[in-house]
Amino acid sequence: MSKRHLFNSNDGLVTKCLRGLISYNPSLTLDEKNRVVFDSTFDKSKVAIISGGGSGHEPAWSGYVGTNMLAASVAGDIFASPSTKQVLSAIEAVPSDNGAILVVTNYTGDCLHFGLANEKANARGHKCRMIICGDDVSVGRKKGGLVGRRGLAGQIGVLKVMGGAAGEGASVDDVYDLGVAVADQIVSIAATLDHCHVPGRTEHGMLADNEVEVGTGPHNEPGYSKLSPAPSPQELVATLFKYMLDETDPDRGYVNFKPDDQTILLVSNFGGMSHLEMGALVDELLEQISSEPWNFPEPVRVCSGFLETSLNAPAFSVSVLNVSAAARTLSQSSGTKYSVEDIKRFFDARTNTYWESVAGAQSGPRRPRAEQFLKDNSVQEKHTFDPSKDLKVDPATLEKMLRSACKAVIDAEPDLTKWDTVMGDGDCGLTLETGAKALLAAVDNGLTKAGSVGDVLLELEEIVEGKMGGTLGGILGIFFVSLRNSLLDEVAKASSGESTPVGEKLPLLWSAAAKTALGNLRRYTPAKVGDRTVMDTLIPFAEAMGSSNRFDKGVEAAVAGAKATITMEPRLGRATYVGANAGSGELPPDPGAWGAMVAIKGLSDGFA
């Protein structure tokens, strides 16, 4: 795979892409700061369907904003989830009297950021729900464990059906039930001839000339298996269908099919396949699905093209949606009664999005292009707290600790990026570096002059929500919100009617607050010690500090927890998909756990 690009830096590339991509449709508007594309003609009496994720998958998801599909989309950095603040901006951009539904693919960062935005939106009075789509059968039940299947282009079929129903004026509950039923009846798998190359990155995994990878992820994750020598197209399709359609496979038989079930076939070009070969691939898929051993009726709908890409990867994914099974699920499990014909009608609903044509369809006179670009439509959420609950410490010590922690994180970025490239998508180091540099800038501007711990936690919350996407940004966002609230509550309780100075209770206060914050975080992630995640650092740190009432003991436990990830088998996150292919023996440390440890140890070093 070539490393050459027209734009050799990813700096500003996502925003520039969005500006160009929406130009075909005069009803679309771009909130540039938050990378939110929304339909400025959205009918607020309809359900607002909102989706998004990392960039590099275009036309997903900005290319699906418009009539009878998405009301808004939100874009993160390349292969990294958008931040909570971005998602909230998307919800605010398309207020609905009927309600909003967030639809995301099953990646930890997306689930966390959209989940936190869902919680905050409901707290603000929005009627908001969330659907997580996972359709990749290469991540079987044994491998996926608690994570479940990751998301591929099958989600685009879910968005299309939900968009059609919302366009007809269905209620938020009915559209939600429909989306869940359809999402559960999709099986997908991908195959690649080589991995894509990300502009601006040096790390690049490549396949040998005579290899094909099966079960590839859309963020450059290694696949389930490598086939060498490379199979013929006919053999490859047969292999993919066996993974997708064999109901007797206890690990991958996710969807059951009856002889006369009606299906939809979705074939997505990952970005680097020729149209010539894609056409031939669709023909081969249709031939094999209708013959032995499957003998399925020909799909009632076939869609092929750049549905959800992976930059320039010469790869593709195949999805089969069982429409009949979705209708049966609806009739049996909810009050929503949509038939097969209804679901097909929703799927067929005309849009003015990329779905119809990348050139789009104009209605009415075209607006001047400059009017399509909204420079800043940020959600203005002023974080505050009761000053009487604030925890005050020596300003010079606080500044020294923060600078030490930020420097340690920045110095660790090259290793964190390298390790996350091996085990994930390579964004962990840059995510943490971005947060550290933003915090340093705040310290330079006087953040610590008052010695206010409350002010520092508020600033961290703002930085994480506004600048740090990805899985780690989502986890830290939830953690810092909970930590701030619980710490200040603990300070208030400790100050109430007691003679012992609050300063003498600091370890106990921090321990109780960290315990509460971790408890809240567990609502959004099942991760525990031993799963090879950032929790392998955070949990030992909080527990050791709680049992000893000593910060240094907490630091020791955090260091030990991070180091222990070297010998752990991944059980959550993207590493579960790629750990088996990372080679024998010890893996690199989990980058999230190591980054959190470096920050904690940096705080301790600054205190010394």
Report the catalytic residues.
Answer: 219
Half-sphere exposure of 289 (CA within 13 A, CB side): 27
Contact yes or no for 532/592 (Cβ under 8 A): no
Question: What distance in Å separates the CA atoms of residue 469 and residue 434, rounded to the nearest whole number?
Answer: 10
Distances (CA, A) of 506 to 392, 490, 491, 585: 11, 10, 9, 41
Rounded CA separation 167/98 (Å): 12
Please count the other Cβ atoms lying within 10 Å of the Cβ belonging to residue 332.
8
CA atoms within 13 A on the CB side of 166: 34
Cα–Cα distance, 391 to 401 (Å, whole number) = 16
- The answer to whether the CB of 3 falls within 8 A of the CB of 197 is yes
Strand partners, 264: 301, 321
Q: How far apart are CA 131 and CA 119, in angstroms?
A: 13
How are beta strands 225-227 and 212-214 bridged, if at all? antiparallel
C-alpha span between 342 and 323 (Å, rounded) = 10
Phi-psi region of 568 (alpha: psi -120 to 50; beta: other; left: phi over 0): beta
377 contacts 31 by C-beta, under 8 angstroms? yes
CA 154, 159, 162, 168 dihedral sign is: negative
Question: Phi first, then psi: what are they for 28, rounded to 5°?
Answer: -90, 145
Distance between CA 85 and CA 506 in Å, rounded?
31
Residues pairing with 533 in the sheet: none
| Nearest-angstrom CA–CA distance, 360 and 501 | 67
CA 362 – CA 25 distance, rounded (Å): 6
One DSSP character per residue, 395-435 reads HHHHHHHHHHHHHHHHHHHHHHHHHHHHHS-S-HHHHHHHH
The dihedral through the CA atoms of 382, 385, 391, 395 has a sign that is: positive
> What is the length of the chain?
608
Burial of 436 from C-beta contacts in 10 A (0-12 / 13-18 / 19+): buried
What strands, in cross-sheet order, belong to the sheet with 263-269? Answer: 225-227, 212-214, 186-192, 315-322, 263-269, 301-305
CB neighbour burial string for 368-407, b if at least 16 within 10 angstroms, e if fewer: eeeebebeebebeeeeebeeebbbeeeeeebbbbbbbbbb
| Binding site members | 54-57, 110
Instruction: Indicate the annotated binding residues for substrate.
Output: 54-57, 110
> What residue type is assigned to position 277 of the chain?
E
